[in-house]
Amino acid sequence: MTALPGLNLDARAMAGAAPVSLARVDRSQWARAPRIAREGGGRIVALWGTDNRDRGQGFAVYAAYAVASGLVVLELPVDEQAASYPGIGETFLGAIRMQRTVRDLLGLVATGESDTRPWLRHAAWGPEEFPLRRDFDERAQREIVQDDYPFVRVEGDGVHEIPVGPIHAGIIEPGHFRFSVVGEKVLRLEARLGYTHKGIDRRFADHDIASGHRLAGRVSGDSTVAFAWAYAQAAEALLGIEPPPRAAWLRALMLERERIANHLGDLGALGNDAGLAFALSQFMRLKEDWVRTNQEVFGHRFLMDRVLPGGVDGDVGDAARDRMLREADAIESEVGVIHKVFDEHSGLQDRFITAGRVTPELARTLGLVGLAGRGSAQPFDLRCDFPCSPYGELGVRKVVHANGDVAARVKVRFDEVVESLRLVREILARLPAGSTRVALPDAQPNAMGFGWVEGWRGDVFFALEAGEGNRIRRGHAHDPSWQAWPVVEHAVIGNIVPDFPLINKSFNLSYSGEDC
Amino acid sequence: MIPIIRQVLRTGIVSEPTPEAREEWRVRSSQIQGDILRLLGRALVIRQVDAGSCNGCELEIHALNNPYYNIEGLGIRFAASPRHADMLLVTGPVSRNMERALRIAYEAMPDPKLVVAVGDCGRDGGLFGESYATCGGVAKVIPVDVAVPGCPPPPLDILTGILTAISRR
């Protein structure tokens, strides 16, 4: 099948569990690609860049598009002097912040874009310093000054602004929200993120391929399994190895356990944000039981560092299997009781229904995918669309609702908990025997590999390039929150300010995953 | 209402015993006069600040509020403003982009300005260390009383860290 027809791509199918092809393109192909991808129902997954001047090759930018045949990654060499490439924000709005980040970190400018404000760069480094360039001086003394970020102003009679953050009222990650309101009604919300930027992409160069999963697993702590698995896929692809079957099944077990843990926590928090404290206590209790089992079986409450290149760390014995099977039944019946309470609670439904509505059309335009996308009739789920082992054998039932409001996102979570519990039982019942890990061969310098995994929030992507001596030359982690944050800004328009926490929670996007 | 009451009764009380304080986690010899618990009438108000964590530590701080740990039952409460707080509970390696906000929160807090750094990142930068983007730990930015190790530290360890900061031997 031709990915991006009409571009005459010289695409090379990449090894590994993720269905990825890589094509080097010229500027004209790069510039035409977004429209062709859009017309074929495709979307932008990630956009990043790298410094290849040490190889005498200038820079390169990459764009990963999801199309019908899988993921096609375009590589555009960028001249060192020009340091620019054609922007794709006109077709894919979700790419604009990624392009601003490429400018902040690498100094490559997307041409033809009107929004040229910095994104991840606040004031910690200068506008002409680029942390992802190989000649960046990490140790230079820099003074943090207060930066002045030009938010878009809304003018008019009675319009005023409410600035919120970066430190929020609750126990939440930091970010700044600027509301323009009339009375209680939100006219516009503009988010400014980047507060949790930790320089992770640069940090990968301090790791070797065998240990990079630890850093990948901390891009967004609540999605540690998804990121570590995407990283492992990328590493295994470039090393030309496959994890043993048992390891693949155990990874899926952990990924579904991660999905259930997060959904349980979110359902509790959503009930609480709508005034039902009972929901918070009950779901937090169930989640605590669930992560305690993780601790006992796998040695970590959130399963950090259990998925690694070559397989998994840990195994499931008969006793642990029986325990998890019993637990799945018990949790399902408890969730059923609370689900009924939710459905019959008119006060709760009154807050949920129509709040923060994202129509299917808006979701499609903005490229919303993952859990929130499935609440707005965007039927994407890698576990069904491009199943890697073992998902092909599990027949995941995709959960899709169409209303696009908080209620729909609550429904998706309830239904996905039930489906993931089924998957947990299925995996435990059919877990293949054998080893859980293979040894890692040496990596070819400059080899590339990609990983793409359906985390609980949406599709997590990882691009990895090997350096000399099994080191990482370039690692890039992409969280689905990148595409979803702009959607939250739209979802709150016309809602009242006090509904923002509820709407925001219904997406529960990662700040760290985006800022990383 | 009846299903809610039935579920509450069926669940019962699941709260577990509270841990002891741990001297070896103390970073700063505390200048606090007397026993804060007694001084504050057994109530402690905390302002949590995420200074660039991966959000793993936040999951565990959230868990402190679940019925097993029942932190409010101990008289410990999370507040929205640092002006109402006795303690800052800080996570993350302190990203440079959060450095200023963390300082402002610390300055806004009234004495005794207790600070507990949570997690390996908060203690010394953890996996992120000190870089162009991270300060390398909370103590690089504001004075820290207690640093709780772990990635992330489980809820009981965080609670132990909080109790260590407010108890004086």
Do A235 and A309 contact (CB within 8 A), yes or no?
yes
Q: Is the pLDDT of residue B30 over 50?
A: no
Cβ <8 Å between A125 and B78? no
The distance of B12 to chain A (nearest Cα, Å) reads 11
Alpha-carbon distance of A141 to A498, in angstroms, equals 42
Q: Is the pLDDT of residue B21 over 80?
A: no
- Give the tens place of pLDDT for each residue, A268-296: 999 999 999 999 999 999 999 999 999 99
Q: What percent of chain A has pLDDT over 90?
A: 94
Range of lowest pLDDT (A78-92, A137-151, A317-331): A137-151
Alpha-carbon distance of B64 to A264, in angstroms, equals 16
Q: What is the CATH number of the domain that holds B93?
A: 3.40.50.12280
Q: Do domains A11-111 and A200-515 have the same CATH topology?
A: no
Tokens linked to A49: 């860049």
Tokens linked to A12: 């090379």
Residues 6+ apart with CB under 8 A from B120: B126, B127, B149, B150, B151
Q: Please confirm whether the linkage preceding B112 is cis (ω < 30° from 0).
A: yes
Complex ipTM: 0.95
| B35 falls within a domain | no
3 state SS of A13 = strand
Domain coverage including residue B131: 44-166
Interface of B with A in 146-165 (CB under 8 A): 151-152, 154
| B79 falls within a domain | yes
| B125 falls within a domain | yes
Cβ <8 Å between B63 and A287? yes
Confidence of residue B75 (pLDDT cuts 50, 70, 90): confident
Range of lowest pLDDT (A52-61, A81-90, A103-112, A150-159): A150-159
Confidence of residue B31 (pLDDT cuts 50, 70, 90): very low
The distance of B61 to chain A (nearest Cα, Å) reads 8
Q: Name which residue leads in pLDDT, B156 or A3.
A: B156
The pLDDT value recorded for residue B74 is 77
Closest CA to A125 of A19, A14, A217, A202: A202
Alpha-carbon distance of B42 to A62, in angstroms, equals 57
The pLDDT value recorded for residue B19 is 80
What kind of architecture, by CATH, is found in domain A200-515? Orthogonal Bundle (1.10)
Tell me the backbone φ, ψ of residue A9, rounded to 5 degrees: -70, 140
| B37 falls within a domain | no
Domain boundaries, chain A: 11-111, 159-192, 200-515
Q: Is B91 in CB contact (< 8 Å) with chain A?
A: no
Domain tally, chain B: 1
The pLDDT value recorded for residue B168 is 59
Q: Please confirm whether the linkage preceding A480 is cis (ω < 30° from 0).
A: no
CATH number 3.30.460.80 is the correct assignment for the domain at A11-111: yes
Residue written as token pair 């910095």:
A118
Q: Which chain A positions have a beta carbon within 8 Å of B63's beta carbon?
A: 284, 287-288, 291
Q: Please confirm whether the linkage preceding B152 is cis (ω < 30° from 0).
A: yes
Q: Which chain A positions have a beta carbon within 8 Å of B58's beta carbon?
A: 171-173, 221
Query: Which member of A203, A282, A304 has the closest CB to residue B11?
Result: A282
| B112 falls within a domain | yes
| B67 falls within a domain | yes
- Give the tens place of pLDDT for each residue, B106-144: 999 998 899 999 999 999 999 999 999 999 999 999 999
Residues 6+ apart with CB under 8 A from B72: B65
Closest CA to A13 of A26, A5, A4, A22: A22
Confidence of residue A141 (pLDDT cuts 50, 70, 90): confident
Q: Which chain A positions have a beta carbon within 8 Å of B1's beta carbon?
A: none
Taking phi first (over 0 means left), then psi (-120 to 50 degrees means alpha), and beta for anything else, what does residue B136 get? left
Residue written as token pair 């930790």:
A198
Count of H-run helices and E-run strands, chain A? 17, 15
Helix residue ranges, H only, A316-469: 318-344, 346-352, 360-366, 370-374, 382-385, 391-394, 406-430
| B13 falls within a domain | no
The pLDDT value recorded for residue A2 is 65
